[in-house]
Structure 1
Amino acid sequence: MDPACGCGNFLVIAYRELRRLELEIYKELYVNDNMFVQMSVDINILYDCIDVDCMYGIEKEEFAANIAQVAIWLVDHQMNMELSQEFGEYFVRFPLKKAANIINGNALKVNWNEIIPREKLTYIVGNPPFISKKNRDKQQNLDMQAICKEVTNYGLLDYVCCWYIKTVEFIKNTNIKVAFISTNSIVQGEQVSVLWKYLLKKNIKINFAHRTFKWSNEYRKDAQVYVVIIGFSYINSLNKVIYDYEIPNSNPMKIKVKKINPYLLEQDDFIIENRSKPICKVPKINFGNMPNDNGNFLFTDEEKNEFLLREPKAEKFFRRFISAREFLHDEKRWCLWLKDAKPSEIVDMPKVYNLVKRVKESRLSSKRGATRKLADYPYLFGEIRQEKGNYILIPRHSSEQRKYIPMGFFSDEYIAADSCCIIKNADLYHFGVLMSEMHMAWVRQICGRIKSDFRYSNKLVYNNFPWPENPSYEKMLCVEKTVKRLLRVREEYKDQSLAQLYNPVITPYKLCEVHKELDKAVDKCYRSQKFYNDFNRMKFLFDLYKSYINND
């Protein structure tokens, strides 16, 4: 059964391959036991072969459901022709007496057991709809509410999770095996702690998995996405397999394993959840500063210059404002930073005073109580998290195309926006580890996503990241020296934005080479043996993570 069958693609392929397996069995019987000596006079024996009525599907769109019905008949005829060609007899099934069981309806509303009793079903397969939590319509939200009501924080889940949850309930106390294609978001970030915590409580076992790969569905132009395939059931298979991809569009490597956890790694079942402080002794991380000013405190170069012509006394209160976009694309923006301004100074600057009044009015008109409270301090940013001293800036959102998330050092003269994370009192060693392939392997697995882009999280990614355990001074010094070289190379290309420098198609050779050296230096802080791929790195990092947690 495919409970989201569309035009029947999966059912058609499954039926074709089952018929071909059956044909191979007939050939073995014919050759070895001479079973088909009478075939020329009695073709009817073949009418006992697999027929179209063993296929079940549920599809919401009537037109697609009708196509699926016809498509399975067509492939049945195709396979009958292959059978006829193999054995020299014309084998057809006309008139059509049986049909695939394609139901036109909402799979999340219909009773699957009325379509096919569970005891008759062997496999459930499919690729349920890829719809993120932000893109669900009203009906889909109602579906989520009905199916996921027992799941804590289900609102964080993608729509596809409804099929996982309904399927798990349907296959309870059976040997039915399931395999779904899903966007890889369900094995990354915050969704893991919501979906898989629930599924693990139900004693669901993952028996095989394809880790992230790029999939293009020729029937859906917009379906070129990063996906995983997860095979699961209540029965724990002894022959588990993980298919890993060196890059998302490469051929998979088959890895035999003894266990598979919700991150699709050979690890015990455990969930990484938000943590308020780092598991290792490293500097704390925080979000940047949120203006909550309705745009009144923010200025472009041109706007700032024009404002200062009318209010020159304000110049000392302007600071460079760095959001993720400004940082990555080398764009300039400024903010009025009145944190240390005296009331008399603000009153003495009428243009500034008017801006402060506008901010107060904007906050008072908000529907959010927390925002209205901020109207008591209209001259301040809504949330100020920046302290004195230098810091590392990490953009919270970054393209998944980049091998590394670009990061940078800044002084407290630069005001970081809340679209960034800031790490105060961090040094070159910390910067080197965060800019390494080791950290990026963790990011790719643990962080959430916006579409397919990275969404860096302080509580989920950084605070759970397992840093090297007691690296020697010499190894840390090697990382620091390599970081200095990296920053010098960046300086050579200071006329280029970081978005340009870290575009994987055109990254300068010198920058690539110094990053390779940095990766090696950081790897040696973890262990002397080489790491060959992300799968290898993540296995090591998860073991290290468990060690830190157990000793916490």
Structure 2
Amino acid sequence: MNAVEIEQAISELAEQPFDAAEFPFAFLQAFGNKATTLKRLRSGESNKSDLGGVLQTNHIHIKIAEPGGTAQAFEALKASPATKRFKARFVLATDGQELYAEDVSADDAPLICAYADFPNHFGAFLALAGISTVKQVRESTFDIRATSRLNRLYVELLKDNPDWGSAERRPDMNHFMARLIFCFFAEDTDIFNGKQLFTATVEQMSARDGADTHEIISAIFTAMNTPTQHEGAPDDRYRKAAGLRPWADAFPYVNGGLFSGSTDVPRFSRIARSYLLNIGTLDWTRVNPDIFGSMIQAVADDEERGALGMHYTSVPNILKVLNPLFLDDLREKLDEAGDNARKLLNLRNRMARIRVFDPACGSGNFLVIAYKEMRGIEAVINQRRGDQGRKSDIPLTNFRGIELRHFPAEIARLALIIAEYQADVIYRGQKEALAAFLPLDQENWIRQGNALRIDWLSVCPSTGTGVKHRADDLFETPLDQAQIDFENEGGETYICGNPPYLGRKYQSDEQKAELRAVFNGRSRDTLSLDYVSGWFMKAADFISSATSAAAFVATNSLCQGIQVSSFWPAIFAGGSSISFAYPSFKWANLAKQNAGVTVSIIGLTQQAGGTRRLFVVADDDVVGVRETTYINAYLVAAENVLVAPRSKAFDDRTQMQFGNHPYYANALMLQPAEAHRLLTQAPKVEAFLRPLYGSKELIAGSPRACIWITADSLEEANEIPEIARKVKAVRAARVEKSSDAQALKLVDVPYRFRDQYEARHALLVVPIVSSETRPYLPVDLVGARAVVHNKAFALYDAPLWNMALIASRLHWVWIGTVCVRMRTDFSYSNTLGWNTFPVPTLTEKNKTDLTRCAEDILLAREAHFPATIADLYDPETMPADLRAAHERNDETLERIYIGRRFRNDTERLEKLFELYTKMVANDAAKPKTKTRKVRADG
């Protein structure tokens, strides 16, 4: 269940008569517990309570109290030995009138509320459904409740008005929902003259069956688009001309284009009307535009509605972008100014000219947070200067965006309007905020369109005045550019956001064409680039011609593997460099199990020199920052160098290559059980069976089997009917793929894989994909008869000191930086990881010492037979003797590099990049000779 579904279930539970016996199970069911789980709790099989309540291990301990005894029951739950023994995270006591609850694993204050009010706090319990949350969501669940109800209304209205769901009318529906949100907010914040004026009017004036609800709402919308002044003086001529009914005339003139144009409203059923009135009972003063905008945009998106309630991006994550981009600098200047009135004034004037531009703004999260943070800084300035209550100098139109979809663009504007009002209430007072709020300015500063096809300077000109044109409708996008009266001479522009990622496999042909157009020949391979790269390229072009800087959330793969050499030269060629960065971390949202993508945050600047900052993130918090002179394309504190794939290594280490590609020879590969059956049926098959390793098989210590036939043994093999049938099956499979030229070439050799590489003495196997949680890259020595297929790399008859290199922490750090990752797991590459790995010249003694280290690692593993690589390299349970063997290997190798152990991975990387730069230079100076071509890894 997602957060919105849980909210709905909890709300329905609270509305029902309190049933003491049933409440614990209904509560758990609302958080997604299955019927079988609840059955076991009811029977007592899994109920661990020692207080006659319900205790679900690792989750919650619930007790129903006698009337008036909730507080005592709550204390008993906290003191219960069972609560601690069975690791209940939550305790909850209620008598149906009051409800007490607490997350005993946190330092937060207990929740104490009326029973009927507990749905307003359901976010505190989302962990029961496996949904990880941040504090801000736990403390303010209003936005999820509002989203849930708006979604139900939206779906119901589309059911009754299917034409409003068509592509042609969907913008009208979205605009209608934006108008409703404004009305709910305005009636609870006294923007309308009267508490719940909108909801009460609809309830009183419309029929209960909903038949005329659309007419009542349409009349209200007409009133809010009808002026109450003429030439600056109060005048009712327009209202009279509109023929407003007295109950509609009570609504103020809103302007701003929000209610201009058509006042057409979808028809309401009785159910839809009840949903509308229910939404109006919520306390909209609690709306948080930081959260609400990103959630509500899913209401109008068919593809996203299934994930409704999961679209929250935490404020701490957004501030990871905004703080180092420009907010930290503003705060530093504020500290430097102290109480100096002139310096404070200069800072306030500077802030009035700063523009924040999000060219993938969605529902405006980044813009809203930036606005609120800047208003907070401005408030401190005003307080120090004695200007409390002063009208803000920061225009809302300085917070500009581009958004592809219609509804999020509308919500972004509305979220900013709400954020401005809330900031005015905080820093100026309710009376001043209300006086300044209406009518809304008729300006348009969020552009709907494709950011990769729009000239960003047309939306956010670098200097001077925008085109002087008043938009007809705040919620209609201009065709050519932001049409705003705005002075910004000498101002700064900060570009930020979280653009769509989309790896190359997920891009449409149109999106690939967009990347080609954006890079315009400046990348050698745009087909390998993630879609987000287009935003970086356009940002680099923008800041090259303006007083500007940029920072985006990006896929971490943009700084790994082949994308580095395809992408970053184009960025650096224009004079941009990396000003700050957060290497890989989880960009979490409000999804089950805290599902999120692994990202990096990268800041771009045109300023030469200065300090660069590398941040370290753990559990959504910044736990460290390193100041450095350089940050390279791999987000390492080192001079910029691009690691390019190499066909061979720098030195005499053994070449690593892909295993043998079967190429539709699936019939020759057998699971262990099938191989056993085959041997039982035909013992002669044993001569042709070999262990078969790929990445999974090596890590799990469970090889498959394969039938391995050479040209010399073909005649003998064909005499075995069981083998002959499988060879025939391979031929048929390749014939079926005759459109594949390679398959067609192999039709006449159906007895074999495409490749037939094998070892004479020993074979080292390296998985292609491996979990980053393992402290070392898996590599193992297997028997010479083993076969490696194309899901792993092989080193044939390699001296054992090669294994010592691969199994080192130095190599783990190197491939974790320069190779591509699958999320945060390693995706190994022979040409990019092994052949480029910088190793100092090794003496024979060095090689002997490293060989002994590799032997010790193998012996330590053998001592724990039959433990697998997966077992042995679990970071929580890695055997001490194996860890010690790796430590000796690391010390031996690192002393070869610098005469001592490296202090940390940062020092390791810096030395590796330094050595790599020297090796590339030395290699370029050597005379070129022809080398044997080794199969690269694609």
> If the length of structure 1 is used for normalisation, what is the TM-score?
0.90
Match for residue 408 of structure 1? 780
Given that 1:69 and 1:99 are in contact with CA atoms closer than 8 Å, whether structure 2 keeps it comes out as no
| Counterpart secondary structure, 1:551 | helix
> Per the alignment, do residues 320 and 219 of structure 1 end up closer, same or farther by CA in structure 2, a change over 3 Å counting?
closer
Match for residue 915 of structure 2? 544
Separation of aligned partners in 2, 1:248 and 1:388 = 49
Q: Does 1:76 align with 2:76?
A: no
Alignment of 1:119-518 (within 5 A): 119=463, 122-137=493-508, 139-148=510-519, 150=521, 151-218=523-590, 224-233=596-605, 235-245=606-616, 251-366=622-737, 367-470=739-842, 473=845, 476-518=847-889
> Per the alignment, do residues 71 and 508 of structure 1 end up closer, same or farther by CA in structure 2, a change over 3 Å counting?
farther
| Counterpart secondary structure, 1:199 | helix
| Counterpart secondary structure, 1:404 | coil
| CA deviation vs aligned residue, 1:20-47 (integer Å, no higher than 9, x gap) | 22222222322xxxxx4xx7xxx6xx33
**Superposition deviation, residue 181 in structure 1:** 1.3
| Counterpart secondary structure, 1:211 | strand
**Superposition deviation, residue 471 in structure 1:** 5.7
Separation of aligned partners in 2, 1:239 and 1:71 = 36
Separation of aligned partners in 2, 1:456 and 1:238 = 34
| Counterpart secondary structure, 2:761 | coil
**Superposition deviation, residue 279 in structure 1:** 1.3
Separation of aligned partners in 1, 2:403 and 2:593 = 19
Given that 1:240 and 1:260 are in contact with CA atoms closer than 8 Å, whether structure 2 keeps it comes out as no
Match for residue 19 of structure 1? 375
Separation of aligned partners in 2, 1:221 and 1:299 = 36
**Superposition deviation, residue 257 in structure 1:** 2.1
Separation of aligned partners in 1, 2:757 and 2:400 = 56
> Per the alignment, do residues 283 and 9 of structure 1 end up closer, same or farther by CA in structure 2, a change over 3 Å counting?
same
Match for residue 524 of structure 1? 895
**Superposition deviation, residue 146 in structure 1:** 4.1
| CA deviation vs aligned residue, 1:180-217 (integer Å, no higher than 9, x gap) | 11121111111101111222233322222223333323
Separation of aligned partners in 1, 2:444 and 2:849 = 65
Match for residue 94 of structure 1? 437
- RMSD across aligned positions (CA): 2.6
| CA deviation vs aligned residue, 1:216-242 (integer Å, no higher than 9, x gap) | 234898762332221113x22432322
Given that 1:449 and 1:455 are in contact with CA atoms closer than 8 Å, whether structure 2 keeps it comes out as yes
**Superposition deviation, residue 247 in structure 1:** 6.5
Match for residue 118 of structure 2? none
Q: Does 1:10 align with 2:353?
A: no
| Counterpart secondary structure, 1:227 | strand
> Per the alignment, do residues 248 and 298 of structure 1 end up closer, same or farther by CA in structure 2, a change over 3 Å counting?
farther
Given that 1:212 and 1:248 are in contact with CA atoms closer than 8 Å, whether structure 2 keeps it comes out as no
Given residue 124 of structure 1, which amino acid in structure 2 is its aligned partner?
A: I
Given that 2:641 and 2:917 are in contact with CA atoms closer than 8 Å, whether structure 1 keeps it comes out as no
Query: Which consecutive unaligned segments of at least 5 residues does structure 2 have?
Result: 1-356, 464-487, 924-938
Q: Does 1:29 align with 2:385?
A: yes
> If the length of structure 2 is used for normalisation, what is the TM-score?
0.54
Given that 2:734 and 2:744 are in contact with CA atoms closer than 8 Å, whether structure 1 keeps it comes out as yes
Given that 1:53 and 1:98 are in contact with CA atoms closer than 8 Å, whether structure 2 keeps it comes out as no
Given that 1:55 and 1:100 are in contact with CA atoms closer than 8 Å, whether structure 2 keeps it comes out as no
**Counterpart among 118, 127, 136 of residue 462 in structure 2:** 118
| Counterpart secondary structure, 1:342 | helix
> Per the alignment, do residues 223 and 177 of structure 1 end up closer, same or farther by CA in structure 2, a change over 3 Å counting?
farther
Match for residue 275 of structure 2? none
Given residue 507 of structure 1, which amino acid in structure 2 is its aligned partner?
A: M
| CA deviation vs aligned residue, 1:242-278 (integer Å, no higher than 9, x gap) | 2243868663432222222211223332211110000
Match for residue 399 of structure 2? 55
**Superposition deviation, residue 73 in structure 1:** 1.9
Given residue 404 of structure 2, which amino acid in structure 1 is its aligned partner?
A: K
Given that 1:471 and 1:526 are in contact with CA atoms closer than 8 Å, whether structure 2 keeps it comes out as no
**Superposition deviation, residue 402 in structure 1:** 1.9
Identity of aligned residues (%): 29
**Superposition deviation, residue 289 in structure 1:** 0.8
> Per the alignment, do residues 332 and 272 of structure 1 end up closer, same or farther by CA in structure 2, a change over 3 Å counting?
closer
Separation of aligned partners in 1, 2:843 and 2:415 = 61
Given that 1:56 and 1:100 are in contact with CA atoms closer than 8 Å, whether structure 2 keeps it comes out as no
Given residue 61 of structure 1, which amino acid in structure 2 is its aligned partner?
A: R
**Superposition deviation, residue 3 in structure 1:** 0.9
Given that 1:226 and 1:248 are in contact with CA atoms closer than 8 Å, whether structure 2 keeps it comes out as no
Separation of aligned partners in 2, 1:220 and 1:147 = 36
> Per the alignment, do residues 248 and 317 of structure 1 end up closer, same or farther by CA in structure 2, a change over 3 Å counting?
farther
| CA deviation vs aligned residue, 1:85-111 (integer Å, no higher than 9, x gap) | 6xx984453113266722232222333
Q: Figure out how many residues of one structure are paired with residues of the other and give that number.
A: 536
Given that 2:610 and 2:629 are in contact with CA atoms closer than 8 Å, whether structure 1 keeps it comes out as yes
| CA deviation vs aligned residue, 1:303-359 (integer Å, no higher than 9, x gap) | 123223444332201111111111111223110100254343133223322322322
Given residue 525 of structure 2, which amino acid in structure 1 is its aligned partner?
A: N
Given residue 200 of structure 1, which amino acid in structure 2 is its aligned partner?
A: F
Greater mean deviation of Cα atoms: 528-537 or 400-409 = 528-537
> Per the alignment, do residues 192 and 372 of structure 1 end up closer, same or farther by CA in structure 2, a change over 3 Å counting?
same
Given that 2:630 and 2:637 are in contact with CA atoms closer than 8 Å, whether structure 1 keeps it comes out as yes
Separation of aligned partners in 2, 1:287 and 1:431 = 16
> Per the alignment, do residues 249 and 403 of structure 1 end up closer, same or farther by CA in structure 2, a change over 3 Å counting?
farther
Separation of aligned partners in 2, 1:56 and 1:535 = 38
| CA deviation vs aligned residue, 1:400-442 (integer Å, no higher than 9, x gap) | 2222221101232000111111122333322122111111110
Given that 2:584 and 2:824 are in contact with CA atoms closer than 8 Å, whether structure 1 keeps it comes out as no
Separation of aligned partners in 1, 2:611 and 2:443 = 35
Separation of aligned partners in 2, 1:130 and 1:397 = 22
Given residue 437 of structure 1, which amino acid in structure 2 is its aligned partner?
A: R
Separation of aligned partners in 1, 2:613 and 2:802 = 33
| Counterpart secondary structure, 1:158 | coil
Q: Mark the structure with the bigger radius of gyration.
A: 2
| CA deviation vs aligned residue, 1:386-413 (integer Å, no higher than 9, x gap) | 3423121100111222222211012320
| Counterpart secondary structure, 2:787 | strand
> Per the alignment, do residues 534 and 358 of structure 1 end up closer, same or farther by CA in structure 2, a change over 3 Å counting?
same
Given that 1:322 and 1:416 are in contact with CA atoms closer than 8 Å, whether structure 2 keeps it comes out as yes
> Per the alignment, do residues 248 and 539 of structure 1 end up closer, same or farther by CA in structure 2, a change over 3 Å counting?
farther
| CA deviation vs aligned residue, 1:446-475 (integer Å, no higher than 9, x gap) | 1112333211101111000001344682x5
